Structure 1
Amino acid sequence: MIHFVSLGPGDPELITLKALRTLREADYIYTPVPVSRKGRHASKAAEMMLSLGIREEQIQLYDLPMSKDRDGALEAYEIVAREACEKQKAEPSARIAIVAEGDCGFYSSSAYIGEHIEQEGFTTEQICGVPAFIACNGRLGGQLVQLEEQCTVIPGEATREEWDRAWQSRHTIVVMKGSLCEAEIKSAVAQHPDRKWHYFEFVGMPKEYNTSSTDEILQREFPYFSIIISKRR
């Protein structure tokens, strides 16, 4: 069995006990390294695990292209799945983990990697974690939703009709991957002053930033790992 391990939003103290135990017991931990047009970036996942006492020799890094063009990422998922399966075949007793930031069952690479692994005849287990938007709301305090309220999550891209319906609704709206829809968010902030707007980036990491000032949101350049929470209350 190959384990998908959720790391949580980035704060090492928010990883679950089960996830940490699984990582400590793993022989191989496949870990993404973000690659953009600017080059290869430091792996935040690897840095977090090292801070928790995971040994460097356990960590197997793989490059993950970060682009709106999904072809590179899909190829990377197929490659890491194949490598994990080949390692499991060569070493049947090896304990293999593949990490995912946030929760591995929520807009996660594990969906694609898992399909390839299961096609090879291996079973997988998901070890859940704290999604980033839950950690964001923790910074605000209070309830993300309460009583009969509903929550809509938008993964950075939506149709014009979907955006309009979201902003006009009474729902709490969570937008992931803010860089994909920066113009839409800023337009909505200006057009819907009846909503409360909360902006977050890199929550749980050293360069974390958050604000509820609409002026600051309008002036901010959104990175990929940014989240917006919009409420009616």
Structure 2
Amino acid sequence: MIYFVSLGPGDPELITLKALHTLQRADCIYTPVPTTSKGRHTSKAAEMMRSLGIREEQIQLYDLPMSKDRDGALEAYTLVADEVVRRQESEPEALLVIVAEGDCGFYSSSAYIGEHIEARGFTTHQLCGVPAFIACNSLLGGQLVQLEEQCTVIPGAATAEEWSRAWQSPHTIVVMKGSLCESEIKEAIQRYPERRWHYFEFVGMPKEFVTSDPEEIQGRTFPYFSIIISKCR
């Protein structure tokens, strides 16, 4: 069987019991290692699993290029999918897992890998997790949305019209991947001071940083793993 398992936003204790039990039983766990022009980085996913007692021999690392040019990442997803299919064909009883940080059904690389696997005639199963923006809001306390409020999630890229419509709405706006829209966010903070602005980096990880001070947000250089939550006062 082939599973996509959500690891949660970074804190190993936020993984679900169902996900943990599946990892413990897995014959092979395909795990991404971010790579950039500076080389191979540490795999946060692998670190999380090791801290949960997952055996080293279960973890199969694969390189995942991190770049605005998506060609390298798409090639990596195809290679992983092909490897999973080959192993499932040769070992039909094997339990194979592809892990994803956050939730595997929400802006996740699982979508690309899953499409390739399912196109080869195999069924995949998703185990849900805690999305990063839910973990972010828990640090603020209170409700992300309540009663008749709505929540719009923007994946770091939008048109000028979409940004304007978002900030002028009475609803909660969540922006993922802050590094892709740093200038738009900083401009909006100046233009819409009536909104509340909350900024998060590496939530659930050792480098976690949180602030609701607009001036402090303006002074940050947004990393890829940054999230902004904006609410009406």
Is the TM-score greater than 0.5? yes
Q: Which amino acid aligns with 1:43?
A: S
Q: Which structure 2 residues correspond to residues 153-232 of structure 1 after superposition, within 5 A? A: 153-232=153-232
- Cα distance, 1:75 vs. partner? 0.6
- Cα distance, 1:68 vs. partner? 1.0
Structure 1 spans left out of the alignment, 5+ residues: none
Structure 2 residue 100 is matched with structure 1 residue 100: yes
Instruction: Show the counterpart of 1:48.
Output: 48
Query: Tell me, what secondary structure is at the counterpart of 1:97?
Result: strand
Q: Residues 56-77 of structure 1: CA distance to partner in whole angstroms, max 9, x if unpaired? A: 1100000101111111111111
Instruction: Show the counterpart of 2:29.
Output: 29
Structure 2 spans left out of the alignment, 5+ residues: none
- Cα distance, 1:133 vs. partner? 0.2
How many Å separate the matches in 2 of 1:216 and 1:80? 40
Tell me the TM-score normalized by structure 2.
Answer: 0.99
Q: Which amino acid aligns with 2:61?
A: L
Q: Residues 117-166 of structure 1: CA distance to partner in whole angstroms, max 9, x if unpaired? A: 00111100000000000000000000000000000000000001000000
Instruction: Show the counterpart of 2:73.
Output: 73
Query: Tell me, what secondary structure is at the counterpart of 2:181?
Result: helix
Instruction: Show the counterpart of 2:117.
Output: 117
Instruction: Show the counterpart of 2:89.
Output: 89
How many Å separate the matches in 2 of 1:73 and 1:170? 37
How many Å separate the matches in 1 of 2:190 and 2:39? 35
CA-based RMSD:
0.6
Q: Which amino acid aligns with 1:9?
A: P
How many Å separate the matches in 1 of 2:223 and 2:77? 23
Instruction: Show the counterpart of 2:59.
Output: 59
How many Å separate the matches in 2 of 1:105 and 1:148? 25
Q: Which amino acid aligns with 2:94?
A: A
Q: Residues 74-130 of structure 1: CA distance to partner in whole angstroms, max 9, x if unpaired? A: 111100000011111111111100000000000001111000000111100000000
Q: Which amino acid aligns with 2:223?
A: P
Instruction: Show the counterpart of 2:13.
Output: 13
Q: Which amino acid aligns with 2:67?
A: S
Query: Tell me, what secondary structure is at the counterpart of 2:103?
Result: coil
Structure 2 residue 140 is matched with structure 1 residue 140: yes
Q: Which amino acid aligns with 1:203?
A: V
How many Å separate the matches in 2 of 1:171 and 1:40? 40
Q: Bigger CA drift: 138-147 or 90-99?
A: 90-99
Q: Residues 167-199 of structure 1: CA distance to partner in whole angstroms, max 9, x if unpaired? A: 011110000000000000000011110000000
Query: Tell me, what secondary structure is at the counterpart of 1:5?
Result: strand
Q: Which runs of 4+ in 1 moved over 3 A?
A: none
Instruction: Show the counterpart of 2:126.
Output: 126
How many Å separate the matches in 1 of 2:89 and 2:161? 48
How many Å separate the matches in 1 of 2:153 and 2:107? 10
How many Å separate the matches in 1 of 2:67 and 2:167? 27
How many Å separate the matches in 1 of 2:64 and 2:171? 34
- Cα distance, 1:28 vs. partner? 0.2
Q: Which amino acid aligns with 2:22?
A: T
How many Å separate the matches in 2 of 1:7 and 1:89? 26
